[in-house]
Structure 1
Protein backbone atom coordinates (compact mmCIF):
# COMPACT_ATOMS: atom_id res chain seq x y z
CA UNK A 1 0.00 0.00 0.00
CA UNK A 2 1.33 3.41 -0.99
CA UNK A 3 1.86 5.87 1.82
CA UNK A 4 0.24 9.30 1.44
CA UNK A 5 2.36 12.23 0.32
CA UNK A 6 2.72 14.82 3.07
CA UNK A 7 3.29 18.54 2.54
CA UNK A 8 5.35 20.25 5.24
CA UNK A 9 5.35 24.04 5.53
CA UNK A 10 7.89 25.79 7.70
CA UNK A 11 10.12 23.01 6.39
CA UNK A 12 13.42 24.72 7.16
CA UNK A 13 12.27 25.76 10.64
CA UNK A 14 12.35 24.11 14.03
CA UNK A 15 9.31 21.84 13.93
CA UNK A 16 9.03 21.49 10.15
CA UNK A 17 12.59 20.23 9.78
CA UNK A 18 12.18 17.83 12.71
CA UNK A 19 8.90 16.56 11.21
CA UNK A 20 10.58 15.85 7.87
CA UNK A 21 13.51 14.14 9.64
CA UNK A 22 11.02 11.74 11.25
CA UNK A 23 8.74 11.15 8.24
CA UNK A 24 11.41 10.28 5.66
CA UNK A 25 12.86 7.24 7.50
CA UNK A 26 9.28 5.96 7.89
CA UNK A 27 9.00 5.87 4.09
CA UNK A 28 6.55 8.74 3.65
CA UNK A 29 6.95 10.87 0.51
CA UNK A 30 7.49 14.42 1.77
CA UNK A 31 7.09 17.67 -0.13
CA UNK A 32 8.73 20.64 1.58
CA UNK A 33 7.36 24.12 0.88
CA UNK A 34 10.22 26.60 1.26
CA UNK A 35 10.58 30.31 0.52
CA UNK A 36 13.85 29.92 -1.33
CA UNK A 37 16.51 27.41 -2.24
CA UNK A 38 19.36 27.74 0.25
CA UNK A 39 21.63 25.46 2.28
CA UNK A 40 18.75 24.40 4.56
CA UNK A 41 16.41 23.44 1.72
CA UNK A 42 19.31 21.75 -0.06
CA UNK A 43 19.87 19.59 3.04
CA UNK A 44 16.19 18.59 2.96
CA UNK A 45 16.49 17.71 -0.73
CA UNK A 46 19.56 15.56 -0.07
CA UNK A 47 17.68 13.79 2.73
CA UNK A 48 14.96 12.83 0.24
CA UNK A 49 12.31 15.55 0.46
CA UNK A 50 10.84 17.04 -2.71
CA UNK A 51 11.43 20.79 -2.60
CA UNK A 52 8.80 23.26 -3.79
CA UNK A 53 9.59 26.97 -3.67
CA UNK A 54 6.61 29.13 -2.86
CA UNK A 55 4.81 31.38 -0.44
CA UNK A 56 2.11 30.82 2.17
CA UNK A 57 0.77 34.16 0.90
CA UNK A 58 0.10 32.94 -2.65
CA UNK A 59 -2.86 30.66 -3.41
CA UNK A 60 -1.33 29.61 -6.74
CA UNK A 61 1.81 28.45 -4.92
CA UNK A 62 -0.26 26.68 -2.26
CA UNK A 63 -2.45 24.84 -4.76
CA UNK A 64 0.61 23.79 -6.76
CA UNK A 65 2.34 22.57 -3.59
CA UNK A 66 -0.77 20.55 -2.66
CA UNK A 67 -1.17 18.86 -6.04
CA UNK A 68 -0.87 15.12 -5.43
CA UNK A 69 -0.64 15.61 -1.65
CA UNK A 70 -3.02 13.90 0.78
CA UNK A 71 -1.95 15.39 4.13
CA UNK A 72 -0.19 18.54 5.32
CA UNK A 73 1.51 20.24 8.25
CA UNK A 74 0.72 23.96 8.50
CA UNK A 75 3.24 26.09 10.37
CA UNK A 76 2.96 29.83 9.89
CA UNK A 77 6.10 31.89 10.59
CA UNK A 78 6.11 33.92 13.79
CA UNK A 79 5.49 37.25 12.07
CA UNK A 80 2.45 39.42 11.27
CA UNK A 81 -0.10 37.85 8.93
CA UNK A 82 -0.81 34.56 10.72
CA UNK A 83 -4.57 34.70 10.18
CA UNK A 84 -4.25 35.61 6.48
CA UNK A 85 -1.81 32.74 5.83
CA UNK A 86 -4.05 30.28 7.70
CA UNK A 87 -7.10 31.38 5.67
CA UNK A 88 -5.25 30.96 2.38
CA UNK A 89 -3.90 27.57 3.43
CA UNK A 90 -7.31 26.32 4.62
CA UNK A 91 -8.93 27.38 1.35
CA UNK A 92 -6.24 25.64 -0.72
CA UNK A 93 -6.47 22.53 1.48
CA UNK A 94 -10.23 22.40 0.95
CA UNK A 95 -9.84 22.88 -2.81
CA UNK A 96 -7.22 20.11 -2.85
CA UNK A 97 -9.41 17.83 -0.71
CA UNK A 98 -6.64 17.02 1.75
CA UNK A 99 -7.38 14.16 4.14
CA UNK A 100 -6.00 15.93 7.18
CA UNK A 101 -4.09 19.06 8.19
CA UNK A 102 -1.97 19.21 11.34
CA UNK A 103 -1.86 22.89 12.30
CA UNK A 104 0.63 24.34 14.78
CA UNK A 105 -1.05 26.65 17.28
CA UNK A 106 0.20 27.91 20.66
CA UNK A 107 -0.76 27.44 24.27
CA UNK A 108 -1.77 31.07 24.78
CA UNK A 109 -4.10 31.27 21.76
CA UNK A 110 -7.19 33.07 23.02
CA UNK A 111 -9.87 35.42 21.75
CA UNK A 112 -9.05 37.94 24.48
CA UNK A 113 -5.26 37.64 24.74
CA UNK A 114 -3.52 41.04 24.76
CA UNK A 115 -1.14 39.98 21.94
CA UNK A 116 -2.53 40.24 18.40
CA UNK A 117 -0.56 37.13 17.36
CA UNK A 118 -2.24 35.00 20.07
CA UNK A 119 -5.68 36.29 19.00
CA UNK A 120 -4.88 35.52 15.35
CA UNK A 121 -3.77 32.00 16.34
CA UNK A 122 -7.10 31.51 18.13
CA UNK A 123 -9.02 32.73 15.08
CA UNK A 124 -6.88 30.53 12.81
CA UNK A 125 -7.66 27.48 14.96
CA UNK A 126 -11.38 28.25 14.84
CA UNK A 127 -11.32 28.85 11.10
CA UNK A 128 -9.51 25.56 10.38
CA UNK A 129 -11.99 23.59 12.49
CA UNK A 130 -15.00 25.28 10.89
CA UNK A 131 -13.81 24.61 7.32
CA UNK A 132 -16.29 22.16 5.74
CA UNK A 133 -14.77 18.84 4.74
CA UNK A 134 -11.36 19.56 6.28
CA UNK A 135 -10.14 17.30 9.09
CA UNK A 136 -7.75 19.22 11.33
CA UNK A 137 -5.55 18.25 14.25
CA UNK A 138 -4.42 21.27 16.26
CA UNK A 139 -0.95 20.95 17.77
CA UNK A 140 -0.90 23.19 20.83
CA UNK A 141 2.51 23.03 22.57
CA UNK A 142 3.74 25.10 25.46
CA UNK A 143 6.72 27.43 25.30
CA UNK A 144 9.38 25.59 23.25
CA UNK A 145 12.33 24.20 25.22
CA UNK A 146 14.91 25.85 22.96
CA UNK A 147 13.51 29.26 23.91
CA UNK A 148 14.79 28.62 27.43
CA UNK A 149 18.24 27.94 25.99
CA UNK A 150 18.22 31.41 24.40
CA UNK A 151 17.87 32.85 27.91
CA UNK A 152 20.87 31.05 29.42
CA UNK A 153 23.30 33.95 29.08
CA UNK A 154 21.09 36.50 30.92
CA UNK A 155 20.28 33.85 33.52
CA UNK A 156 24.00 33.28 34.12
CA UNK A 157 24.78 37.03 34.26
CA UNK A 158 21.85 38.26 36.31
CA UNK A 159 20.61 35.19 38.14
CA UNK A 160 17.10 35.80 36.80
CA UNK A 161 15.04 33.92 34.28
CA UNK A 162 13.40 36.69 32.28
CA UNK A 163 10.79 34.56 30.58
CA UNK A 164 7.22 35.82 30.09
CA UNK A 165 5.63 33.02 32.12
CA UNK A 166 4.15 35.01 35.01
CA UNK A 167 2.63 32.58 37.49
CA UNK A 168 1.95 30.04 34.75
CA UNK A 169 3.47 26.59 34.55
CA UNK A 170 4.99 25.16 31.40
CA UNK A 171 6.48 21.78 30.55
CA UNK A 172 8.74 22.87 27.68
CA UNK A 173 8.64 20.39 24.78
CA UNK A 174 11.59 19.95 22.45
CA UNK A 175 11.23 20.51 18.71
CA UNK A 176 11.64 16.75 18.23
CA UNK A 177 8.85 16.00 20.72
CA UNK A 178 6.52 18.46 18.99
CA UNK A 179 7.42 16.83 15.67
CA UNK A 180 6.54 13.38 17.11
CA UNK A 181 3.03 14.64 17.81
CA UNK A 182 2.78 16.18 14.31
CA UNK A 183 4.02 12.94 12.73
CA UNK A 184 1.50 10.93 14.75
CA UNK A 185 -1.32 13.20 13.60
CA UNK A 186 -0.24 12.92 9.97
CA UNK A 187 0.55 9.21 9.83
CA UNK A 188 -2.39 8.02 11.94
CA UNK A 189 -5.00 10.79 11.89
CA UNK A 190 -7.84 8.51 13.04
CA UNK A 191 -6.06 7.89 16.33
CA UNK A 192 -5.63 11.67 16.81
CA UNK A 193 -9.36 12.18 16.45
CA UNK A 194 -10.10 9.50 19.03
CA UNK A 195 -7.63 10.61 21.69
Structure 2
Protein backbone atom coordinates (compact mmCIF):
# COMPACT_ATOMS: atom_id res chain seq x y z
CA UNK A 1 0.00 0.00 0.00
CA UNK A 2 1.32 3.47 -0.91
CA UNK A 3 2.32 5.10 2.38
CA UNK A 4 3.23 8.48 0.82
CA UNK A 5 0.25 8.93 -1.51
CA UNK A 6 -0.21 11.81 -3.87
CA UNK A 7 -3.28 13.78 -2.92
CA UNK A 8 -4.95 13.32 -6.30
CA UNK A 9 -8.67 13.44 -5.53
CA UNK A 10 -9.98 14.28 -2.07
CA UNK A 11 -13.42 13.72 -0.61
CA UNK A 12 -14.36 16.02 2.26
CA UNK A 13 -17.39 15.27 4.41
CA UNK A 14 -18.85 18.15 6.40
CA UNK A 15 -17.73 20.59 3.70
CA UNK A 16 -20.79 22.83 4.14
CA UNK A 17 -19.73 23.38 7.74
CA UNK A 18 -17.05 25.66 9.13
CA UNK A 19 -14.04 23.36 9.43
CA UNK A 20 -14.82 21.04 6.54
CA UNK A 21 -15.55 24.01 4.31
CA UNK A 22 -12.23 25.64 5.09
CA UNK A 23 -10.44 22.37 4.38
CA UNK A 24 -12.26 21.82 1.07
CA UNK A 25 -11.56 25.37 -0.10
CA UNK A 26 -7.90 25.14 0.88
CA UNK A 27 -7.43 21.85 -0.95
CA UNK A 28 -9.09 23.30 -4.05
CA UNK A 29 -7.00 26.49 -3.85
CA UNK A 30 -3.90 24.30 -3.70
CA UNK A 31 -4.86 22.71 -7.02
CA UNK A 32 -6.35 19.45 -5.80
CA UNK A 33 -9.48 17.85 -7.20
CA UNK A 34 -12.06 17.99 -4.43
CA UNK A 35 -15.45 16.37 -3.93
CA UNK A 36 -17.93 17.12 -1.14
CA UNK A 37 -20.66 14.91 0.25
CA UNK A 38 -23.56 17.25 1.03
CA UNK A 39 -27.09 16.67 2.21
CA UNK A 40 -28.58 19.01 -0.43
CA UNK A 41 -26.78 20.05 -3.58
CA UNK A 42 -29.10 23.06 -3.95
CA UNK A 43 -28.27 24.47 -0.50
CA UNK A 44 -26.47 27.84 -0.64
CA UNK A 45 -23.36 26.51 1.12
CA UNK A 46 -23.15 23.61 -1.33
CA UNK A 47 -23.64 25.90 -4.30
CA UNK A 48 -20.81 28.13 -3.05
CA UNK A 49 -18.50 25.10 -3.03
CA UNK A 50 -19.56 24.10 -6.52
CA UNK A 51 -18.80 27.62 -7.77
CA UNK A 52 -15.18 27.05 -6.68
CA UNK A 53 -14.93 23.89 -8.76
CA UNK A 54 -15.69 21.43 -5.97
CA UNK A 55 -17.90 18.61 -7.21
CA UNK A 56 -20.93 17.60 -5.15
CA UNK A 57 -22.45 14.25 -4.23
CA UNK A 58 -25.83 14.44 -2.53
CA UNK A 59 -26.37 12.25 0.48
CA UNK A 60 -25.93 11.82 4.21
CA UNK A 61 -22.88 10.43 6.00
CA UNK A 62 -25.23 8.14 7.92
CA UNK A 63 -26.28 6.52 4.60
CA UNK A 64 -23.80 3.81 3.57
CA UNK A 65 -24.88 3.90 -0.09
CA UNK A 66 -24.38 7.66 -0.33
CA UNK A 67 -20.95 7.38 1.31
CA UNK A 68 -19.98 4.66 -1.17
CA UNK A 69 -20.94 6.87 -4.12
CA UNK A 70 -18.94 9.75 -2.71
CA UNK A 71 -15.81 7.71 -1.93
CA UNK A 72 -15.61 5.95 -5.32
CA UNK A 73 -12.71 7.28 -7.38
CA UNK A 74 -11.02 9.29 -4.61
CA UNK A 75 -7.51 8.88 -3.25
CA UNK A 76 -8.06 10.58 0.13
CA UNK A 77 -11.04 10.91 2.43
CA UNK A 78 -11.17 13.66 5.05
CA UNK A 79 -14.04 12.73 7.34
CA UNK A 80 -14.95 15.99 9.09
CA UNK A 81 -18.76 15.74 9.30
CA UNK A 82 -20.23 15.54 12.78
CA UNK A 83 -23.26 16.53 14.78
CA UNK A 84 -22.22 18.85 17.57
CA UNK A 85 -23.87 19.80 20.85
CA UNK A 86 -27.58 20.32 20.33
CA UNK A 87 -29.95 19.09 23.00
CA UNK A 88 -32.87 18.48 20.64
CA UNK A 89 -31.19 15.50 18.90
CA UNK A 90 -31.76 11.99 20.28
CA UNK A 91 -28.72 9.94 21.20
CA UNK A 92 -29.37 7.66 18.23
CA UNK A 93 -28.82 10.57 15.84
CA UNK A 94 -25.45 11.38 17.40
CA UNK A 95 -24.39 7.77 17.01
CA UNK A 96 -25.61 7.54 13.42
CA UNK A 97 -23.55 10.58 12.40
CA UNK A 98 -20.55 10.47 14.74
CA UNK A 99 -20.11 6.70 15.05
CA UNK A 100 -21.81 4.74 12.28
CA UNK A 101 -20.58 7.04 9.51
CA UNK A 102 -17.02 6.01 10.37
CA UNK A 103 -17.85 2.41 9.53
CA UNK A 104 -19.41 3.52 6.24
CA UNK A 105 -16.31 5.54 5.33
CA UNK A 106 -13.94 2.69 6.14
CA UNK A 107 -15.96 0.06 4.29
CA UNK A 108 -16.21 2.25 1.19
CA UNK A 109 -12.50 3.13 1.35
CA UNK A 110 -11.63 -0.56 1.44
CA UNK A 111 -13.82 -1.31 -1.56
CA UNK A 112 -12.43 1.54 -3.64
CA UNK A 113 -8.76 1.34 -2.67
CA UNK A 114 -8.46 4.74 -0.99
CA UNK A 115 -4.86 5.68 -0.12
CA UNK A 116 -5.54 7.54 3.11
CA UNK A 117 -8.39 8.38 5.49
CA UNK A 118 -8.10 11.32 7.88
CA UNK A 119 -10.73 11.00 10.59
CA UNK A 120 -11.64 14.05 12.65
CA UNK A 121 -12.33 13.13 16.26
CA UNK A 122 -12.20 15.67 19.11
CA UNK A 123 -10.05 16.51 22.10
CA UNK A 124 -13.33 16.11 23.97
CA UNK A 125 -12.83 12.34 24.13
CA UNK A 126 -10.51 13.17 27.05
CA UNK A 127 -13.30 15.09 28.78
CA UNK A 128 -12.42 17.24 31.78
CA UNK A 129 -8.67 16.65 31.88
CA UNK A 130 -6.84 16.34 35.18
CA UNK A 131 -3.45 15.95 33.49
CA UNK A 132 -2.21 19.37 32.28
CA UNK A 133 -1.35 19.32 29.46
CA UNK A 134 -3.09 16.15 28.33
CA UNK A 135 -1.54 14.03 25.59
CA UNK A 136 -2.82 11.46 23.11
CA UNK A 137 -2.36 8.76 25.78
CA UNK A 138 -4.34 10.56 28.48
CA UNK A 139 -7.29 8.47 29.68
CA UNK A 140 -10.62 8.88 27.92
CA UNK A 141 -13.30 10.64 29.94
CA UNK A 142 -16.17 11.69 27.64
CA UNK A 143 -18.76 13.76 29.44
CA UNK A 144 -21.77 13.87 27.11
CA UNK A 145 -23.34 12.10 24.15
CA UNK A 146 -21.37 14.16 21.65
CA UNK A 147 -18.06 13.14 23.20
CA UNK A 148 -19.15 9.55 23.76
CA UNK A 149 -20.34 9.13 20.16
CA UNK A 150 -17.13 10.70 18.84
CA UNK A 151 -15.10 8.29 20.98
CA UNK A 152 -17.15 5.37 19.67
CA UNK A 153 -16.40 6.49 16.12
CA UNK A 154 -12.71 6.84 16.93
CA UNK A 155 -12.64 3.32 18.35
CA UNK A 156 -13.99 2.01 15.04
CA UNK A 157 -11.16 3.84 13.28
CA UNK A 158 -8.62 2.44 15.73
CA UNK A 159 -9.84 -1.08 15.08
CA UNK A 160 -9.49 -0.56 11.34
CA UNK A 161 -5.95 0.74 11.85
CA UNK A 162 -5.16 -2.56 13.54
CA UNK A 163 -6.47 -4.30 10.43
CA UNK A 164 -4.14 -2.34 8.17
CA UNK A 165 -6.45 0.45 6.93
CA UNK A 166 -4.36 3.62 6.33
CA UNK A 167 -6.04 6.03 8.75
CA UNK A 168 -4.82 9.06 10.68
CA UNK A 169 -6.93 10.39 13.55
CA UNK A 170 -7.02 14.08 14.49
CA UNK A 171 -8.30 15.40 17.81
CA UNK A 172 -8.70 19.18 17.37
CA UNK A 173 -8.87 21.60 20.26
CA UNK A 174 -11.48 24.44 20.28
CA UNK A 175 -11.81 25.52 16.64
CA UNK A 176 -12.30 29.19 15.78
CA UNK A 177 -11.59 31.74 13.07
CA UNK A 178 -13.32 33.77 10.34
CA UNK A 179 -16.46 31.95 9.23
CA UNK A 180 -17.13 30.41 12.64
CA UNK A 181 -20.25 31.35 14.56
CA UNK A 182 -19.86 28.97 17.52
CA UNK A 183 -17.85 31.58 19.45
CA UNK A 184 -19.97 34.49 18.20
CA UNK A 185 -22.14 34.58 21.32
CA UNK A 186 -19.03 34.86 23.48
CA UNK A 187 -17.74 37.81 21.43
CA UNK A 188 -21.13 39.53 21.37
CA UNK A 189 -21.80 39.23 25.08
CA UNK A 190 -18.31 40.49 25.90
CA UNK A 191 -18.81 43.41 23.52
CA UNK A 192 -22.20 44.41 24.94
CA UNK A 193 -20.97 43.74 28.49
CA UNK A 194 -23.60 41.13 29.30
CA UNK A 195 -21.09 38.28 29.62
CA UNK A 196 -20.92 36.76 33.09
CA UNK A 197 -18.17 34.46 34.28
CA UNK A 198 -19.69 31.50 36.06
CA UNK A 199 -17.23 29.80 38.36
CA UNK A 200 -13.66 30.93 38.96
CA UNK A 201 -12.65 31.05 35.29
CA UNK A 202 -9.24 29.59 36.02
CA UNK A 203 -9.78 26.39 34.06
CA UNK A 204 -7.47 25.77 31.11
CA UNK A 205 -8.77 26.45 27.62
CA UNK A 206 -7.05 25.49 24.36
CA UNK A 207 -7.93 27.05 21.00
CA UNK A 208 -7.15 25.97 17.44
CA UNK A 209 -7.16 28.54 14.64
CA UNK A 210 -8.91 26.98 11.67
CA UNK A 211 -6.14 27.62 9.12
CA UNK A 212 -3.61 25.89 11.37
CA UNK A 213 -5.96 22.99 11.90
CA UNK A 214 -6.46 22.61 8.14
CA UNK A 215 -2.69 22.41 7.70
CA UNK A 216 -2.69 19.68 10.33
CA UNK A 217 -5.37 17.73 8.45
CA UNK A 218 -3.42 17.95 5.21
CA UNK A 219 -0.21 16.83 6.93
CA UNK A 220 -2.10 13.83 8.32
CA UNK A 221 -3.27 13.02 4.80
CA UNK A 222 0.15 13.18 3.19
CA UNK A 223 2.95 12.60 5.70
CA UNK A 224 4.21 8.99 5.72
CA UNK A 225 4.57 8.93 9.51
CA UNK A 226 0.94 9.91 10.06
CA UNK A 227 -0.47 6.52 9.07
CA UNK A 228 -1.94 4.65 12.00
CA UNK A 229 -1.37 7.52 14.40
CA UNK A 230 -3.52 9.85 16.49
CA UNK A 231 -2.65 13.53 16.90
CA UNK A 232 -3.89 16.35 19.07
CA UNK A 233 -3.92 19.46 16.87
CA UNK A 234 -4.26 22.98 18.19
CA UNK A 235 -2.32 26.14 18.93
CA UNK A 236 1.12 25.82 20.51
CA UNK A 237 -0.09 27.17 23.85
CA UNK A 238 -3.21 27.24 25.97
CA UNK A 239 -4.72 29.87 28.20
CA UNK A 240 -7.38 30.02 30.90
CA UNK A 241 -11.00 30.92 30.43
CA UNK A 242 -10.29 34.19 32.24
CA UNK A 243 -7.36 34.81 29.90
CA UNK A 244 -9.43 34.10 26.79
CA UNK A 245 -12.23 36.43 27.89
CA UNK A 246 -9.77 39.19 28.78
CA UNK A 247 -8.04 38.86 25.41
CA UNK A 248 -11.33 39.08 23.52
CA UNK A 249 -12.34 42.15 25.54
CA UNK A 250 -9.02 43.79 24.66
CA UNK A 251 -9.41 42.93 20.97
CA UNK A 252 -12.91 44.44 21.02
CA UNK A 253 -11.67 47.49 22.93
CA UNK A 254 -14.19 47.09 25.75
CA UNK A 255 -13.62 47.00 29.51
CA UNK A 256 -12.48 43.67 30.95
CA UNK A 257 -15.06 41.40 32.53
CA UNK A 258 -15.20 41.65 36.29
CA UNK A 259 -16.85 39.46 38.90
CA UNK A 260 -17.68 35.78 39.14
CA UNK A 261 -21.01 34.04 39.71
CA UNK A 262 -21.38 30.62 41.37
CA UNK A 263 -21.85 27.82 38.85
CA UNK A 264 -24.55 25.89 40.76
CA UNK A 265 -27.52 28.18 39.85
CA UNK A 266 -26.56 28.05 36.15
CA UNK A 267 -26.41 24.27 36.20
CA UNK A 268 -29.80 24.09 37.92
CA UNK A 269 -31.32 26.45 35.33
CA UNK A 270 -29.83 24.39 32.49
CA UNK A 271 -31.33 21.21 33.91
CA UNK A 272 -34.78 22.81 34.19
CA UNK A 273 -34.50 24.14 30.61
CA UNK A 274 -33.76 20.67 29.30
CA UNK A 275 -36.65 19.11 31.24
CA UNK A 276 -39.08 21.78 30.00
CA UNK A 277 -38.03 21.71 26.34
CA UNK A 278 -37.47 18.01 25.75
CA UNK A 279 -41.16 16.97 25.53
CA UNK A 280 -41.66 19.51 22.73
CA UNK A 281 -38.51 18.62 20.78
CA UNK A 282 -37.16 22.14 21.29
CA UNK A 283 -33.44 22.86 21.54
CA UNK A 284 -33.27 24.58 24.95
CA UNK A 285 -31.59 28.00 25.08
CA UNK A 286 -29.47 26.68 27.94
CA UNK A 287 -28.40 23.12 28.65
CA UNK A 288 -25.83 21.28 30.72
CA UNK A 289 -23.45 20.72 27.82
CA UNK A 290 -23.06 24.48 27.46
CA UNK A 291 -22.43 24.88 31.18
CA UNK A 292 -19.40 22.61 30.67
CA UNK A 293 -17.73 25.58 28.96
CA UNK A 294 -17.21 27.06 32.43
CA UNK A 295 -16.28 23.88 34.28
CA UNK A 296 -14.17 21.49 32.19
CA UNK A 297 -10.43 21.93 31.76
CA UNK A 298 -9.01 21.70 28.23
CA UNK A 299 -5.24 21.88 27.87
CA UNK A 300 -3.29 19.66 25.51
CA UNK A 301 0.20 19.01 24.24
CA UNK A 302 0.75 19.10 20.46
CA UNK A 303 4.34 17.87 20.84
CA UNK A 304 3.64 14.61 18.99
CA UNK A 305 2.36 16.38 15.87
CA UNK A 306 5.28 18.81 16.02
CA UNK A 307 7.85 16.03 16.36
CA UNK A 308 6.43 13.49 13.90
CA UNK A 309 4.81 15.71 11.26
CA UNK A 310 6.61 19.02 11.58
CA UNK A 311 3.28 20.65 12.44
CA UNK A 312 3.85 24.29 13.39
CA UNK A 313 0.92 26.60 14.19
CA UNK A 314 1.27 29.91 12.36
CA UNK A 315 -1.42 32.04 14.01
CA UNK A 316 -1.18 33.03 17.65
CA UNK A 317 -4.21 33.57 19.86
CA UNK A 318 -4.17 37.36 19.68
CA UNK A 319 -3.88 37.44 15.90
CA UNK A 320 -6.52 34.75 15.52
CA UNK A 321 -8.98 36.61 17.73
CA UNK A 322 -8.32 39.83 15.81
CA UNK A 323 -9.00 38.11 12.48
CA UNK A 324 -12.16 36.53 13.88
CA UNK A 325 -13.42 39.84 15.29
CA UNK A 326 -12.71 41.55 11.95
CA UNK A 327 -14.83 38.94 10.15
CA UNK A 328 -17.67 39.32 12.67
CA UNK A 329 -17.59 43.07 12.11
CA UNK A 330 -17.53 42.72 8.33
CA UNK A 331 -20.58 40.45 8.55
CA UNK A 332 -22.40 42.91 10.80
CA UNK A 333 -22.38 40.65 13.85
CA UNK A 334 -20.36 43.16 15.90
CA UNK A 335 -20.14 46.93 15.96
CA UNK A 336 -17.56 48.53 13.65
CA UNK A 337 -14.14 49.04 15.18
CA UNK A 338 -13.60 52.33 16.95
CA UNK A 339 -11.65 54.84 14.91
CA UNK A 340 -8.36 55.99 16.36
CA UNK A 341 -7.80 59.68 17.10
CA UNK A 342 -5.03 59.75 14.50
CA UNK A 343 -7.50 58.67 11.83
Unaligned stretches of 5+ residues in structure 2? 1-5, 85-93, 127-139, 228-307, 310-343
1:65-121 CA distance string (max 9 Å, x none) = 111111111023225221122222222222223211111111121444221221221
Please tell me whether residue 100 in structure 1 is matched to residue 116 in structure 2: yes
RMSD: 2.5
Unaligned stretches of 5+ residues in structure 1? none
* TM-score normalised by structure 2 residue count: 0.51
Q: Is the 8 A contact 1:9 1:16 kept in 2?
A: yes
Range with bigger deviation, 120-129 or 62-71: 120-129
Q: Is the 8 A contact 1:105 1:140 kept in 2?
A: yes
In the alignment, the residues of structure 2 paired with residue 114 and residue 171 of structure 1 have an alpha-carbon distance, to the nearest angstrom, of 17
Range with bigger deviation, 94-103 or 108-117: 108-117
Q: Is the 8 A contact 1:98 1:134 kept in 2?
A: no
Q: Is the 8 A contact 1:22 1:183 kept in 2?
A: no
2:170 equivalent among 121, 139, 144: 139
Q: Which secondary structure does the structure 1 equivalent of 2:57 belong to?
A: strand
In the alignment, the residues of structure 1 paired with residue 164 and residue 200 of structure 2 have an alpha-carbon distance, to the nearest angstrom, of 37
| Greater Rg by CA | 2
1:18 equivalent among 22, 27, 39: 22
Q: Structure 1 residues 15 and 159, CA, compared in 2 at 3 Å: closer, same or farther?
A: closer
Q: Structure 1 residues 154 and 129, CA, compared in 2 at 3 Å: closer, same or farther?
A: same
Q: Structure 1 residues 151 and 45, CA, compared in 2 at 3 Å: closer, same or farther?
A: same
Aligned length: 193
* TM-score normalised by structure 1 residue count: 0.86
Q: CA deviation at 1:8?
A: 0.4
Q: CA deviation at 1:130?
A: 1.4
Q: CA deviation at 1:22?
A: 1.0
In the alignment, the residues of structure 1 paired with residue 212 and residue 83 of structure 2 have an alpha-carbon distance, to the nearest angstrom, of 19
